Structure 1
Amino acid sequence: MEIGQVIRKIRKNKNITQQQLADAINMTRPYIARIESGKNSISSDKLTEILDYCNVTYNEFFYMKNDYKIATKMNEFNKVLKLYYANKFEEISLIKREIKEKYEENGDKFLRHLYILCHCIENGYEINNIKEEYIKEIADYLLSIDDWSYYELVILNNFVGLFPPSTAFLMTKNLLQRADKFKDLNLDSRILSFLLFNMLEFSIKYNGYDYSKVILQTAKKYFTESSQFFEQTLIIFYEGMIDIIDHSISKGIEKCNKAFTIFQTLGHQSIYEKYKKDLDQLINKTMSTKA
């Protein structure tokens, strides 16, 4: 739908007349009518005023504008990932060729990044089979952006396992800054859950303990809602892991076991086994260091 059509749909759904809307945002009724018919454009400030008056969020507005679908570009990322999980690699190769042609036509960075994603998938995310310049290109892009949008979170989520630890740690600042600035935006919640805990696991695995502590503090500030019970359980687990790193081994094991009890009570046996393995590896590593 066009912007004017969405505004009209929202206004009528909220039982607001053109005159009432015009009065609320200091415009004339004929001008509102021309906006709704597509004859006049509207500034972002006035659009914000309309949405505030109608009690509609920007996310809802653009979702409606896109005919109640996620933005087309993000659909392309999701489509490729679904094919990957379904082991439909031939279809991914076909999409990759189409993406290359489109990218050569318009130079859209999104298409370039999607092409590199297809390349990584074709090579099973095996670091030795992926072109080094592709990994560097993605890393350079992420490090060149000071204030990340949701798109940069998606890029990091899809490529983080390919970066050298030192490069991934450099990106921690951008990730934490995004989490802090946009903590009230529900759009980020799911992907930040993946990223923050993946980066915690990554930083502990590669001895980036200072990063681990900062990431954990951000996660504790971000995941505060009662509905975020899974994330809060992971926070307990990683608090225990960091206690172990700080040589409070008994205290750390106690916290980890508390998290394990919750996982097992909820029937998450595979999750319990995965994190129990991480705990055992850290304990063995700590003991060998002390020896």
Structure 2
Amino acid sequence: MDFGKAISNIRRNKHISIQQITNNTITKSSYNRFVNGETQPSVNSFLTLLQNLHVSFEEFLYISRGYKPDYFNEIAMQIRDATITRNIPLMQEIHATISTYAQQNPNNQTYLHLKCVTTLILNSLQNEPLDQESKKILLNYLLKCDVWTHYEHTLFNSVIFIFEPSAVNAMEKRIIRNLDSYELMHIYGNESFRSLCVILAFDISHQDLMAAIKVVSKLANFSLHADMLFEKTLYKLFSGIVFLLSGQSIGLQNIKEAIQIMQLTDSKDYLKATFAFIKDVCQIYDFHDEGLAQLLKEGYQKLD
């Protein structure tokens, strides 16, 4: 990335003078050398330049990439979509691409982790034994991190199915610590909340309703921002399943509201995944409910 050129382009497009952007930061000559690629400013000076441009560091990186997400987020979204739709050929293609990158860059930990993720997801989708080396690499990495950022949440959410309940419990403590520490920060609260929802689904699938109820209680106390519709929908869905399995009438209503939101937003892939998950849960618990059966029947009809 040519940071100097990006800074210059943003300044010109915002019609900010060189004097304004370099005020109390660097000299005009130093600025010109920077934008021409001849030198690099200190970290503090660079951050002050961004502040004078009224641009956050995340925005700057996005703009400097040509208004595109970074590679990790881009490939993570592809992996997520292929997993939800159970698209094995697409996942094989993604895995081949990442494996090539990992081979060409053996010291790049991100490529290694993504290769492990796609390997394990393919194992799961094709009903194959899990690759133990990939599992070990991801488990060791996640357990050693005391603080999780977007990167760790993404890895964990992608392959939670490979872990034993004891390992998930250890990771849950880290996620809850993040939830408490970053509750006022939109992105970190968002990530932690989603990961707890993934753990909630994990507990439900492993017939541990007591653990699931504890997670529901924790999520209920978290203040979601008004625009966190996806997170609110996840909470409605999984809490609804827990309540319904516990004999609480509010459960069916919560599930219905979650499905309605997905229908209104035309989230067909998530709807299919939701219906499949509910059917699996009913089978695991040998659970029968006429209202739920009717809700699923109507939901499938609207998908056609």
Q: TM-score range by the shorter chain?
A: 0.7 to 0.9
- The higher-RCO structure (CA 8 Å, 6+ apart) is 2
- CA 238–174 in structure 1, closer or farther in 2 if over 3 Å, else same: same
Structure 1: 5+ residue runs without aligned partners?
286-291
- CA 283–49 in structure 1, closer or farther in 2 if over 3 Å, else same: farther
Report how many residues are paired. Answer: 276
Matches within 5 A, 1:111-130: 111-125=111-125, 129-130=129-130
- Looking at structure 2, the residues matched to 12 and 233 of structure 1 have their Cα atoms a distance apart, in angstroms, of 42
Matches within 5 A, 1:21-60: 21-23=21-23, 25-60=24-59
- CA 170–94 in structure 1, closer or farther in 2 if over 3 Å, else same: same
- CA 241–220 in structure 1, closer or farther in 2 if over 3 Å, else same: farther
- CA 181–4 in structure 1, closer or farther in 2 if over 3 Å, else same: farther
Q: How far is the alpha carbon of 1:281 from its aligned partner?
A: 6.3
AA at the equivalent of 1:30: S
1:260 maps to which residue?
255
Deviates more, 1:80-89 or 1:114-123: 80-89
* Mapped pair 1:17 → 2:17: yes
- CA 22–178 in structure 1, closer or farther in 2 if over 3 Å, else same: same
- CA 153–284 in structure 1, closer or farther in 2 if over 3 Å, else same: same
AA at the equivalent of 2:20: Q
Contact kept, 8 Å, 1:5 with 1:36, in 2: the verdict is yes
Percent identity of equivalent pairs: 20
Contact kept, 8 Å, 1:2 with 1:38, in 2: the verdict is yes
- Looking at structure 2, the residues matched to 77 and 114 of structure 1 have their Cα atoms a distance apart, in angstroms, of 8
2:225 maps to which residue?
224
1:288 maps to which residue?
none
Contact kept, 8 Å, 2:50 with 2:56, in 1: the verdict is yes
- Looking at structure 1, the residues matched to 93 and 241 of structure 2 have their Cα atoms a distance apart, in angstroms, of 42
Q: How far is the alpha carbon of 1:212 from its aligned partner?
A: 4.7
2:297 maps to which residue?
none
Structure 2: 5+ residue runs without aligned partners?
264-270, 289-304
2:139 maps to which residue?
139
1:95 maps to which residue?
97
Matches within 5 A, 1:1-291: 1-23=1-23, 25-78=24-77, 85=87, 87-88=89-90, 91-92=93-94, 94-95=96-97, 98-103=100-105, 106-125=106-125, 129-183=129-183, 194-206=194-206, 207=208, 209-210=210-211, 212-214=213-215, 216-218=217-219, 220-225=221-226, 227-239=227-239, 249=247, 252-253=248-249, 255-263=250-258, 265-266=260-261, 268=263, 271=274, 274-275=277-278, 278=281, 284=287
AA at the equivalent of 2:204: I
- Looking at structure 1, the residues matched to 224 and 209 of structure 2 have their Cα atoms a distance apart, in angstroms, of 22
- CA 61–181 in structure 1, closer or farther in 2 if over 3 Å, else same: farther
AA at the equivalent of 1:132: Q
TM-score of the pair, normalised by structure 1: 0.76
Q: How far is the alpha carbon of 1:86 from its aligned partner?
A: 6.1
Contact kept, 8 Å, 2:186 with 2:225, in 1: the verdict is no
SS in 2 for 1:147: coil
Contact kept, 8 Å, 1:89 with 1:122, in 2: the verdict is yes
Q: How far is the alpha carbon of 1:89 from its aligned partner?
A: 6.0
Deviates more, 1:234-243 or 1:193-202: 234-243
Q: How far is the alpha carbon of 1:162 from its aligned partner?
A: 1.0
Deviates more, 1:157-166 or 1:112-121: 112-121
Contact kept, 8 Å, 2:79 with 2:94, in 1: the verdict is yes
State the Cα RMSD in Å.
3.6
SS in 2 for 1:146: coil
Contact kept, 8 Å, 1:8 with 1:36, in 2: the verdict is yes
Contact kept, 8 Å, 2:102 with 2:108, in 1: the verdict is no
Contact kept, 8 Å, 2:4 with 2:35, in 1: the verdict is yes
- Looking at structure 1, the residues matched to 92 and 279 of structure 2 have their Cα atoms a distance apart, in angstroms, of 37
SS in 2 for 1:39: coil
TM-score of the pair, normalised by structure 2: 0.73
Deviates more, 1:120-129 or 1:171-180: 120-129
AA at the equivalent of 2:115: Y
AA at the equivalent of 2:19: Q
